[in-house]
Structure 1
Amino acid sequence: MTRPDAQEPDSGAWLLNKIDARERALTGQIEQTQAEIDAMAAHLGELHEAIEHLRITRKTLLSLADEPGPEPAPPPPVVPDHPAYQQILDVFADLGRPLRARDLCEALDLPIVKKNTENIRAKLKHLVNQGILVETEPGLFAQPRPQPSR
């Protein structure tokens, strides 16, 4: 027998409590899944950016490859094998200034006679033809100045 003043548990409230609990659990799952989606979307954006950088790099490299490159440097001039040529170049290196054939004869302790100056002049002209020396004015020879780097 039931007592009229006793209350029976409300079966509807119990069911609503279960629904509330299930709703909270699903809301938590939604928030967690949304956070994962946001993280994956950010990672996807980084991947798209990285691949775009690679495409730009490829395009830049291909366009640079199509441009003409710098001219290859000419091979260094070869000093003739005779020791007199090396002696002449040593004098230029020691004095560091333009010289005439007569100046070289003096520096090499050769007598200043026509035979010696003409012989030295011929060697100087040969060094000019080889690109080792330059003739800055008629009869005046010097080592070429290095070209400034660009």
Structure 2
Amino acid sequence: MGSLLDAIEAEEAVVRGRVEELETQVAELMVRLEAERERLSRLVITRETAGELLARMAGSDPAEPAREPPRAEEVSPFAGAERRVVGVLAVPKWQPGLEPGVLPRVYQDILEVVGDAPGPVRAKQIVPRIGLAAETTKIEGTRAKLKRLVERGWLDEDSPGLFTPSRTRTTGSPNSP
């Protein structure tokens, strides 16, 4: 009987490792997806602006009525989606003197939860503490935000999926251990 339980525990450890690896890959894909969505949004705006300018240049005859540019809903793949302000960095790179108050509220909440935790935390532990349902989509979205905070120096990720307050930010010195 003991060997069966040992075999099950061994299989569980293997599967748990694969699950964590897949969660890491999904988080990386979420970050890449967001970057590509941002690029697509910029390209759509550029195309719309260029079309408006070309229409104005072609309609230089004062007798010809000015053509109204196409509405965004007709040409944008983001029709009905919330429009983002292009060129504004929602999560700035951390630098000395920069306080969490400059971040959007959800990022401030994430930093607070990570800072209050007794040790490293995972995205699935943070989600309920910031008032979200413990659903896969919410966890992955939060994981992408955590990765962004790591990229910008607000948090550290010493082990895949385990987030802690940034040692640089808490000590104030980029050379601190």
TM-score band, normalised by shorter chain: 0.3 to 0.5
TM-score, L = length of structure 2: 0.38
Q: Which has the larger radius of gyration?
A: 1
User: What TM-score, normalized by structure 1, do the two folds share?
Assistant: 0.44
Could you say which structure has the greater relative contact order, defined with CA pairs below 8 angstroms and 6 or more residues apart?
2
